[in-house]
Amino acid sequence: MALQSKADKPKSSHNGFRELFDRHYPAICRHLTCLLGSRAAAEDVAQETFIRLYQTPPPEPANLGGWLARVATNLAYNHLRSEHSRCRREVGAGLAEVAVEAGPEESLVRGEEIALTRRVLEQLHQRDRACLLLRFSGMDYAGIARATGIKETSVGTVLARARAKFKVEYINLKGSD
């Protein structure tokens, strides 16, 4: 099904969009949940991803899953940056809330691990980061190849090298804390 611009959309295209949404939303939401660490934030970003699809569909819809994964990943990074800035402002103003769902030790350790993992991911090349996140979210090699533009036969090698770089960087950063 070819996507059309918003102005060209007949009433029946809403059904086609709904089919695309139903087919791709679960995978996009899983991917974003892994990236963001929050189901609620993932659902918000996934919604924005599909709004982008509806408003300005990709010029070549043959690789729609890859396009959606890329848009979702970029929106997730934007979300993380804005959350990071918001947290810095709140801490500076003394407005940050302390997590109470787990004990203080567990919350502290979990927060440190999440922050360390994000810092390590930020240190990696964008291609390596994307491959790791897509694989961790459950995408197969063919999907990763479509989303990143890497040859499918090279995805395994790229993932193995990315894992090794992640491990080295994680150990280096954990040791420097």
- Residue pLDDT, tens place only, 75-127: 888 887 777 666 666 555 554 444 444 567 777 777 788 888 888 888 888 88
Q: Which of 175 and 168 is assigned the larger pLDDT? A: 168
Residue 157 belongs to a domain:
yes
Residue 169 belongs to a domain:
yes
Q: Which of 1 and 77 is assigned the larger pLDDT? A: 77
Domain count, the chain: 2
pTM: 0.48
pLDDT digits (tens, 9 = 90+) for 23-47: 889 989 888 887 777 788 889 999 9
Cβ-contact 42, 26 below 8 angstroms:
no
Cβ-contact 69, 30 below 8 angstroms:
no
Written as six digits, the tokens of 133 are 């996140």
Same domain for 150 and 171: yes
Q: Report residue 70's pLDDT band, with 50, 70 and 90 as the boundaries.
A: confident
Same domain for 49 and 23: yes
Same domain for 23 and 45: yes
Q: What is the pLDDT of residue 91?
A: 58
CATH number at residue 162: 1.10.10.10
d(CA 30, CA 132): 14
Q: What is the pLDDT of residue 62?
A: 82
Selection from 22, 30, 73 nearest residue 49 by Cα: 73
What's the domain range around 49?
A: 12-97
Q: What is the pLDDT of residue 176?
A: 61
- Residue that terminates a domain, selected from 46, 69, 97: 97
Same domain for 85 and 21: yes
Q: What is the pLDDT of residue 47?
A: 92
Same domain for 90 and 64: yes
Cβ-contact 139, 147 below 8 angstroms:
yes
Same domain for 76 and 114: no
Cβ-contact 108, 157 below 8 angstroms:
no
Same domain for 115 and 158: yes
Is the pLDDT at 64 greater than 50, yes or no? yes
pLDDT digits (tens, 9 = 90+) for 122-169: 888 888 988 888 888 778 898 888 888 899 999 999 999 999 999 999
Q: What is the pLDDT of residue 30?
A: 87
Is the pLDDT at 2 greater than 60, yes or no? no
- Residue that terminates a domain, selected from 63, 97, 131: 97
- Residue that terminates a domain, selected from 70, 97, 124: 97
Give the phi and the psi of residue 110 in degrees, each rounded to 5. Answer: -65, -45
Residue 6 belongs to a domain:
no
